[in-house]
C-alpha cells in the first residue's frame, strides 16, 4: 500500500487521528484555560463555594416559603452547605429580618390606567456565629419594571411572578457572594 493511502486510512504516517484523541497542545491549552478561569475567581452561576464558618448554617426566616428563602436554600445547598435543623447544630445563623416586595405605578395612560409598574424586592439579613456577628445587619434590593395592559391581565400577573422569582434568585446570589467573602 502506498504511503498516501496509509495516511488517508489513518495509518502510521499521519492523516486521520483515531476517534477521541487530541494533540497534546490542545490538552495543555484546556488545562491552562481552566487554571486561569479558576484563578480569577470564576465560578459557575449559583455555585459559590462557602468558607468553613458558614458550611453548616441555620436559616432563620419569618416566612420560610418565600421566593427568596427558597432561592437562598437552593443556593446554600449547591454551594456545599449542609443546612442545620436546629440553631445549636449550626456553625452560623443566617437570619432573614426583612423579606418584602413592593409595587408602584411608574406611568399611567390618558384614562388614568396604569401603563407601567416597578417591582422592588428587598431583603434584610444578618449572619451570626454564637455571640459573634459575622456579617452586620444589611439590606439589599432588586428592582424591575414591566409594562401593563389590562387586556392581558392574566399574562401580566404571570410576568410579575416571574420577575419576583428572578429577583429572589439575584438576591440569593448576592447573599451567597457576601457569605463567600467571610
Q: What is the pLDDT of residues 87-107, one digit of tens each?
A: 999 999 999 999 999 999 999
CATH topology for 49-180? Answer: Double Stranded RNA Binding Domain (3.30.160)
What is the value of pTM for the model shown? Answer: 0.71
Domain ranges of the chain: 3-37, 49-180
pLDDT of residue 43: 46
- DSSP of the chain: --HHHHHHTT-TTSSSPPTT---HHHHHHHHHHHHHHHHTT---TT-PPPPGGGSSEEEE-S-TTSHHHHHHHHHHHHTT----SSGGG-SEEEEEEEEEEEEEEEEE-TTS-EEEEEEEEEEEEEEEETTEEEEEEEEEEEEEEEE--GGGHHHHHHHHHHHHHHHHHHHHHHHHHHHHT-
Q: Write down the mean pLDDT value for the chain.
A: 83
Amino acid at each position: 500500500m502506498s504511503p498516501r493511502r496509509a495516511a488517508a486510512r489513518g495509518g502510521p504516517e499521519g492523516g486521520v487521528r483515531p476517534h477521541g484523541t487530541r494533540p497534546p497542545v490542545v490538552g495543555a491549552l484546556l488545562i491552562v484555560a481552566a487554571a486561569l478561569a479558576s484563578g480569577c475567581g470564576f465560578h459557575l452561576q449559583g455555585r459559590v463555594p462557602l468558607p468553613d464558618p458558614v458550611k453548616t448554617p441555620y436559616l432563620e426566616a419569618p416566612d420560610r416559603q418565600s421566593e427568596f428563602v427558597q432561592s437562598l436554600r437552593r443556593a446554600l445547598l449547591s454551594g456545599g452547605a449542609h443546612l442545620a435543623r436546629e440553631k445549636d447544630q449550626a456553625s452560623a445563623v443566617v437570619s432573614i429580618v426583612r423579606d418584602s416586595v413592593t409595587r408602584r405605578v411608574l406611568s399611567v395612560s390618558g384614562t388614568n390606567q396604569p401603563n407601567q409598574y416597578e417591582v422592588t424586592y428587598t431583603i434584610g439579613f444578618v449572619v451570626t456565629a454564637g455571640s459573634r456577628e459575622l456579617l452586620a445587619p444589611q439590606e439589599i434590593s432588586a428592582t424591575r419594571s414591566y409594562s401593563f395592559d389590562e387586556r392581558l391581565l392574566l399574562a401580566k400577573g404571570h410576568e410579575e411572578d416571574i420577575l419576583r422569582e428572578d429577583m429572589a434568585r439575584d438576591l440569593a446570589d448576592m447573599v451567597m457572594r457576601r457569605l463567600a467573602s467571610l
